[in-house]
Structure 1
Amino acid sequence: MQLPSTFDPTRATAFARETLQIEAAAITAMAQRLDGSFAQALSLMLACQGRVVVMGIGKSGHIGRKIAATLASTGTPAMFVHPAEASHGDLGMITPADVVLGISNSGESEELTVILPLIKRMGVPLVAITGRVRSTLGQHAEVVLDASVEKEACPHNLAPTASTTAQLAMGDAIAVALLDARGFKADDFARSHPGGTLGRKLLTHVRDVMRTGDALPRVTQEAGLMTLMREISAKGLGASAIVDDDNRVLGIFTDGDLRRLIEKSENNSDLRNLTAREVMHPDPRTIRADALAVTAAELMEATRITSVLVVDEAGRLCGALNSNDLMRAKVI
């Protein structure tokens, strides 16, 4: 692929750096002028019995869709309604129990301004994110959040760049502040993202992935080394628990332990006479079934082990898992 003859890597990098600096400056300036209006906007949304209905056209509409998605995933019911579609029937999606969040840099987008009187007539509170607080949008809003920027990052000062970045940042600020005010926790976030990586990490417990019953490798402390080796091979965990007569965990023996034992032994035939009690690691690392699976992964990583035994409150063996089990569950 042939590059344009006008392409200058140094010039392109300089433009990129300047773009980032302009947009960073726009967000910094917006943060400095944040005032009581922000808290008023939050109060309206917290008191809302319906949903936050986000509206915007063009680039502001794209930003609006993202803001609505962020609100919905962080504990604030929200949806995006396209202003043009609202004029053709979708306005019926808005109820008096809702709050409308209108987004427009100019505050004069015709598709949005034409429905503002109808929103006001319905008695629906309107919060505006705009670059012109005295615009039509600003004048109709109960609360105006100033997202004005000194200039766009576009060298012609035309393409929405810094202004849309400011809108997006303001939307994130609203979502995060609402999240905190609602006491929204990581577990709540996971429940709204059950198919994602974070959801799996926060919702998957050890009991969901551990091996139990006949798949659980275990021998008594009197078992011979050959019996112990057969148990490890048959169950495929790479380790076996050593338990007492009451199923309490006394120790663990792994594939790695076997290799090291053979390497140190001058006469391998002597190994046949060893018992599980003599070769096991006593007091092994264990975890409870109600712990998060990601906690088991962190334990394995911190202690450089690949298998961990699961015990109940009395120290009795009830499960086991290794790193492969966690990988199959997509926890790691």
Structure 2
Amino acid sequence: MDIRMSTSMNRPMRQVRHKQDEEKPQHNLTDKTTKQQQRQPSSLRQNATALRRSSSAPPRMGRRRRLLVEDHYRVDAETKSLLPGLPINDDENDARDLHDFFNLIALVPVVVLNIINWDWDVLIDGNKTLKQAWTGQYFPLFFATTVGYFVADLIWVIQIPTCVKSPAVIVQHHVATLIYLLIPYMHPQDTGWLMGACLIVEINTWLLIARRVFNKQGFGPWVIDLSLFSIRVKLISIFFYVTWISIRCFLYPEIWRLLWSLWYDDYKEGVIFNTKYAFALGLHTIFCCLNFKWTFDLFRSKLRAWKIGGHAKVEKGL
């Protein structure tokens, strides 16, 4: 009986030892793996972690390039054609509204002072040049008001970039304009007319802002309605397109032609770069290219809208 009891007691002890012997290699293997992972360089572990995250992350969708005309027009996301009406201001951007009202007020003296510096009888006469039609009677006041407006608006956009949708474009434009204004400042008698002719475009800028401010509901500008509101918006839109084409597409290239002829006269006398017209010609070339680019974007979207509208009518007729 004693032998049986001792034998039965030894069996559990042997089983426990056997289990411990089996668990030792597993613990040793785990310890070795942990030590190997710790010995690996941190860069390899980071790369492995980044690879796992990238494989599990969903693919990124490409962003559509935003057109500049979308600041002032409704554009179809698929066809990139202009839609009727104006972009609806759903976010109620107070900063942008305040900036728009500032421009509507501040641009008025700039435009008025520009107008009274011209002799309109001479200007209407087709045989006279822009330089001959420029009187410059109120040029100092006109220059100070214009510089004050551009400096104030530049600071405004830099301090509150949310007041416009394209702050970088506005800042670059204002800086280039202020540099351009150095030419009539240094040569007011010879190039004062150049400043007045170029700043006629602010009439179109005022109409562009007024079109956005006075029609936040997004109504179509060409829809005839008996209400005074629709008539006002319709007239603003008509004047906007008329001034856009006449100033940006015709007047600015004509100014470029005049600058080229003036620079060429200096060139024939042996003066190439050391002339007031060479610098003006370079800057004005940039502005002309920008105007043509914006015009192309605007009317390309218009043509797409008309084509889609035409196809829609045919389908309805069928």
Q: Do Structure 1 and Structure 2 share a fold, with TM-score over 0.5? A: no
Instruction: Say which structure is richer in helix.
Output: 2
Higher relative contact order (CA 8 A, sep 6+): 2
Which entry has the higher C-alpha Rg, 1 or 2? 2
Normalising by structure 2, what TM-score? 0.19
Normalising by structure 1, what TM-score? 0.19
